Amino acid sequence: MAILKPFKGLRPPQEIAARVASRPYDVLNSKEARIEAEGNEFSLLHIIKPEIDLSEEIDEHDERVYNKAIENLNHFKKNGWLKQDEAPYLYIYAQTMNNKTQYGIVGCAAVDDYMNGVIKKHELTRKDKEEDRMKHVRITNANMEPVFFTYPAVAEIDQIIEEFVKNNKPEYDFTADDGVGHHFWVIRDNKIIEQLVTLFEKIPYTYVADGHHRTAAAALVGNEKKQKNPNHKGDEEYNYFLAVHFPSNQLTIIDYNRLVKDLNGLSKEEFFNKLEGVFNIEDKGTEIFKPESLHTFGMYIDGRWYSLTAKPGTYNDNDPIGVLDVTILSEHVLDKILGITDLRTSNRIDFVGGIRGLGELKRRVDSGEMAVAFALYPVSLEQLITIADTGNIMPPKTTWFEPKLRSGIVVHALD
């Protein structure tokens, strides 16, 4: 059973909420964060990317950067830019993109649920990235950013949320620079809070959709605090971490595409000859080709697009991992033909989320930076859940969720 816990949110006043809210720490680098936060003292980037307030020479993992995070958080609290709610509440956070709105319930997930496998994951995490976020959680003593969870949709929960949204005005309601709408409600009614908490207890598992490193860091720090507290009782705030829970029937996964720097010493003709052993290849000309079904890929090379359709025998539709297009591409092309054996460490490959469009693939190949691009058909949410349920791990960079959650709309303090 999944735990959903109300908490006393640390939130910005209405009039500055849109300026506090920022993109997540991991979707922009330090240079981009400096530009984005320029002229905006309210931006949460000052806390989640605090290196922007220090000299550019300082490494983002330097101890001074983490110290700056807590200094800036204290500054935000002192100035009233983040104020704590007077009682534990649940919240609704909705996002609108391309005329479609998805509604998430903001509440705390349990550290024990993560440790015991009630919260399921589908990606491996890297220790260095985990440790970076763990340091950040330790020093701020807070979950500054939410993680993005999904759960098998429950009609009764959907109805409660729909009814509440219909009858209550949002606390925050703004459209960010990228055109995505963000809407936020506070559920202060204890009866509704209890209903939602009780309904969540009937959900067997929840799933990390986006934010595996943040989830791991939050849970591991919570567990650390538990081990270090001789008077641990189990109801301390550190036993929980900040999550937005979206029903599975409202989410969309978009494509996550690949770019490769070279053809591994092959001529273009040799490369195509090898591809023909795996795919049926069709020249699509100069117009962008977007794959419309599983096991079909788009490929861009030398100013032209091709469709690659995987031949039978190159995939296994009865295997949750073997059925994935990322698996077909990784095994048969990236590894066997192009010699890229480790997607996590190779500097010959890059990944581009579909939100940037296939034009980004074309641009980077045309510039000469990359030799070839592959456009993939997106993984379905059903596939993600099946992989997590069977204890499998997806290949790196398989899922891309949009829209991304904004950070700073609500924060969870661990004390």
The CA angle 74-78-80, to the nearest 5 degrees, is 115
Q: Which CATH class is domain 256-377?
A: alpha beta
Q: Which helix (H) or strand (E) holds 413?
A: strand 412-413
Per DSSP, the residues of 289-353 read ----STTEEEEEETTEEEEEEEPTTS--TTSTTTT-HHHHHIIIIIITTT----TTT-SSEEEEE
Report pLDDT for 237.
97
The CA angle 175-177-181, to the nearest 5 degrees, is 25
User: Contacts by 78-82 with C-beta closer than 8 Å and gap 24+?
Assistant: 80/13, 81/12, 81/13, 81/16, 81/20, 81/42, 82/10, 82/11, 82/12, 82/20, 82/411
Report pLDDT for 395.
84
Q: Are the CB atoms for 395 and 383 separated by under 8 Å?
A: no
Q: Are the CB atoms for 37 and 239 separated by under 8 Å?
A: no
Q: What is the pLDDT of residues 100-110, one digit of tens each?
A: 999 999 999 99
Report pLDDT for 356.
81
Report pLDDT for 343.
87
Report pLDDT for 374.
98
- Verify cis geometry, omega within 30 degrees of 0, for the bond prior to 291: no
Q: What is the pLDDT of residues 190-233, one digit of tens each?
A: 999 999 999 999 999 999 999 999 999 999 999 999 999 999 99
Q: Enumerate the CATH 3.30.1760 domain ranges in the chain, comma separated.
A: 256-377
User: What is the percent of the chain with per-residue pLDDT over 70, rounded to a whole number?
Assistant: 100
Q: What is the pLDDT of residues 320-348, one digit of tens each?
A: 999 999 999 999 999 999 999 988 889 99
Report pLDDT for 252.
86
Instruction: Go through the chain and tell me how many residues it has.
Output: 415
Query: Exposed, middle or buried by CB within 10 Å (0-12, 13-18, 19+), for 230?
Result: exposed
Q: What is the pLDDT along the chain (415 residues), one digit of tens a residue?
A: 899 999 999 999 999 999 999 999 988 999 999 999 999 999 999 999 999 999 999 999 999 999 999 999 999 999 999 999 999 999 999 999 999 999 999 999 999 999 999 999 998 888 888 999 999 999 999 999 999 999 999 999 999 999 999 999 999 999 999 999 999 999 999 999 999 999 999 999 999 999 999 999 999 999 999 999 999 999 999 999 999 999 999 998 999 999 999 999 999 999 999 999 999 999 999 999 999 999 999 999 999 999 999 999 999 999 999 999 999 999 999 999 999 998 888 999 999 987 788 999 999 999 999 999 999 999 999 999 999 999 999 888 898 899 999 999 999 999 9
Q: Are the CB atoms for 377 and 400 separated by under 8 Å?
A: no
Per DSSP, the residues of 165-183 read HHHS--SEEEE-TTS-EEE
Q: Which two tokens stand for residue 159?
A: 């109805």
Q: What is the pLDDT of residues 118-149, one digit of tens each?
A: 999 998 888 888 999 999 999 999 999 999 99
